[in-house]
Protein backbone atom coordinates (compact mmCIF):
# COMPACT_ATOMS: atom_id res chain seq x y z
CA UNK A 1 0.00 0.00 0.00
CA UNK A 2 0.90 3.67 0.01
CA UNK A 3 1.48 3.84 3.77
CA UNK A 4 -0.37 7.19 4.12
CA UNK A 5 -1.72 8.06 7.56
CA UNK A 6 -4.40 10.70 8.17
CA UNK A 7 -3.37 14.11 9.44
CA UNK A 8 -5.01 17.40 10.43
CA UNK A 9 -3.90 20.97 10.14
CA UNK A 10 -5.31 24.29 11.27
CA UNK A 11 -4.51 27.76 12.45
CA UNK A 12 -3.90 28.88 16.00
CA UNK A 13 -4.46 32.45 17.18
CA UNK A 14 -1.25 34.01 18.44
CA UNK A 15 -2.18 37.70 18.51
CA UNK A 16 -5.27 39.79 17.83
CA UNK A 17 -5.15 43.02 15.82
CA UNK A 18 -7.92 45.56 16.48
CA UNK A 19 -7.94 49.22 15.45
CA UNK A 20 -4.16 49.52 15.38
CA UNK A 21 -3.55 47.65 18.63
CA UNK A 22 -2.12 44.18 19.14
CA UNK A 23 -3.41 41.95 21.91
CA UNK A 24 -2.38 38.50 23.04
CA UNK A 25 -4.66 35.53 22.40
CA UNK A 26 -5.62 35.49 26.09
CA UNK A 27 -8.04 38.34 25.36
CA UNK A 28 -10.29 35.83 23.62
CA UNK A 29 -10.57 33.64 26.75
CA UNK A 30 -13.83 35.05 28.10
CA UNK A 31 -15.80 32.98 30.59
CA UNK A 32 -19.54 32.53 30.37
CA UNK A 33 -20.09 34.16 33.76
CA UNK A 34 -18.36 37.31 32.54
CA UNK A 35 -20.56 37.42 29.44
CA UNK A 36 -23.70 36.94 31.55
CA UNK A 37 -22.60 39.72 33.92
CA UNK A 38 -22.06 42.10 31.00
CA UNK A 39 -25.43 41.17 29.51
CA UNK A 40 -27.25 41.76 32.80
CA UNK A 41 -25.52 45.13 33.22
CA UNK A 42 -26.67 46.13 29.73
CA UNK A 43 -30.24 45.04 30.51
CA UNK A 44 -30.21 47.13 33.71
CA UNK A 45 -29.00 50.15 31.72
CA UNK A 46 -31.73 49.65 29.11
CA UNK A 47 -34.37 49.38 31.84
CA UNK A 48 -33.19 52.52 33.63
CA UNK A 49 -32.99 54.58 30.44
CA UNK A 50 -36.39 53.42 29.22
CA UNK A 51 -37.96 54.14 32.63
CA UNK A 52 -36.45 57.63 32.65
CA UNK A 53 -37.65 58.38 29.12
CA UNK A 54 -41.02 56.71 29.58
CA UNK A 55 -40.56 54.31 26.69
CA UNK A 56 -41.73 50.76 27.52
CA UNK A 57 -39.28 47.96 26.77
CA UNK A 58 -39.19 44.32 27.77
CA UNK A 59 -36.65 45.17 30.48
CA UNK A 60 -38.70 48.03 31.96
CA UNK A 61 -42.20 46.52 31.91
CA UNK A 62 -41.87 44.66 35.26
CA UNK A 63 -40.69 47.86 36.94
CA UNK A 64 -43.52 49.87 35.36
CA UNK A 65 -46.11 47.34 36.55
CA UNK A 66 -44.71 47.38 40.10
CA UNK A 67 -44.63 51.19 40.15
CA UNK A 68 -48.24 51.26 38.94
CA UNK A 69 -49.24 48.83 41.70
CA UNK A 70 -47.49 51.05 44.26
CA UNK A 71 -49.49 54.01 42.96
CA UNK A 72 -52.72 52.01 43.30
CA UNK A 73 -51.82 51.14 46.88
CA UNK A 74 -51.09 54.79 47.65
CA UNK A 75 -54.46 55.88 46.23
CA UNK A 76 -56.19 53.14 48.19
CA UNK A 77 -54.53 54.21 51.44
CA UNK A 78 -55.34 57.88 50.86
CA UNK A 79 -58.99 57.21 49.98
CA UNK A 80 -61.79 54.91 51.10
CA UNK A 81 -61.39 52.63 48.09
CA UNK A 82 -60.12 49.13 48.90
CA UNK A 83 -59.20 46.11 46.84
CA UNK A 84 -57.89 42.71 47.97
CA UNK A 85 -54.24 43.75 47.69
CA UNK A 86 -54.63 46.89 49.79
CA UNK A 87 -56.54 45.40 52.71
CA UNK A 88 -53.39 44.20 54.49
CA UNK A 89 -51.68 47.57 54.14
CA UNK A 90 -54.72 49.43 55.48
CA UNK A 91 -54.88 46.97 58.36
CA UNK A 92 -51.19 47.55 59.10
CA UNK A 93 -51.67 51.32 59.12
CA UNK A 94 -54.71 51.04 61.37
CA UNK A 95 -53.09 48.66 63.88
CA UNK A 96 -49.28 48.39 63.57
CA UNK A 97 -48.92 46.76 67.01
CA UNK A 98 -50.66 43.63 65.73
CA UNK A 99 -47.86 43.04 63.24
CA UNK A 100 -44.97 43.69 65.68
CA UNK A 101 -44.69 40.18 67.14
CA UNK A 102 -40.92 39.63 67.16
CA UNK A 103 -39.86 43.28 67.14
CA UNK A 104 -39.68 43.90 70.95
CA UNK A 105 -36.99 41.26 71.52
CA UNK A 106 -34.90 42.62 68.69
CA UNK A 107 -35.42 46.21 69.82
CA UNK A 108 -34.21 45.52 73.36
CA UNK A 109 -30.93 44.02 72.19
CA UNK A 110 -30.24 46.73 69.62
CA UNK A 111 -31.12 49.75 71.82
CA UNK A 112 -27.93 49.57 73.93
CA UNK A 113 -25.47 50.07 71.03
CA UNK A 114 -27.58 52.95 69.73
CA UNK A 115 -27.41 54.70 73.12
CA UNK A 116 -23.63 54.23 73.25
CA UNK A 117 -23.24 55.59 69.73
CA UNK A 118 -25.34 58.66 70.63
CA UNK A 119 -23.15 59.31 73.69
CA UNK A 120 -19.99 59.06 71.58
CA UNK A 121 -21.38 61.48 68.98
CA UNK A 122 -22.20 64.09 71.63
CA UNK A 123 -18.62 63.92 72.95
CA UNK A 124 -17.17 64.38 69.46
CA UNK A 125 -19.33 67.42 68.72
CA UNK A 126 -17.84 69.33 71.69
CA UNK A 127 -14.31 69.07 70.27
CA UNK A 128 -14.50 71.80 67.64
CA UNK A 129 -11.31 73.48 69.05
CA UNK A 130 -12.63 77.00 68.62
CA UNK A 131 -13.04 76.80 64.87
CA UNK A 132 -16.47 77.67 63.60
CA UNK A 133 -17.95 77.79 60.17
CA UNK A 134 -17.59 81.57 59.83
CA UNK A 135 -14.54 82.26 62.06
DSSP state, residue 80? S
The CA distance from 67 to 58, in Å, is: 15
The CA distance from 51 to 96, in Å, is: 33
pLDDT of residue 106: 54
Between 87-94 and 61-78, two packed helices, what is the crossing angle to 10 degrees? 50
3-state secondary structure of 20: coil
Contact indicator for 77, 69 with CB cutoff of 8 Å? no
DSSP state, residue 17? E
| Residue 110: burial class (beta carbons within 10 Å; 0-12, 13-18, 19+) | exposed
pLDDT of residue 95: 85
Taking CA atoms, 43 is separated from 1, 39, 53, 95, in Å, by 62, 6, 15, 41
In tens digits, the chain (135 residues) has pLDDT values of 677 888 888 888 889 898 999 988 888 888 999 999 999 999 999 999 999 999 999 999 999 999 999 999 999 999 988 888 889 888 888 888 887 775 555 555 555 565 565 556 655 555 556 666 665
Name residue 18's beta-bridge partners. Answer: 21
Global pTM value: 0.50
pLDDT of residue 113: 61
Phi, psi for residue 15 in degrees, rounded to 5: -140, 160
Q: Domain residue spans in the chain?
A: 30-59, 60-104
Amino acid sequence: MLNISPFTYGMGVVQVYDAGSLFSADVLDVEESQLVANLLAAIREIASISLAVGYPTLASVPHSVINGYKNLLAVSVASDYTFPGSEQIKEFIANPEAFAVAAPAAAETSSAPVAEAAAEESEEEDDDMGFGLFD
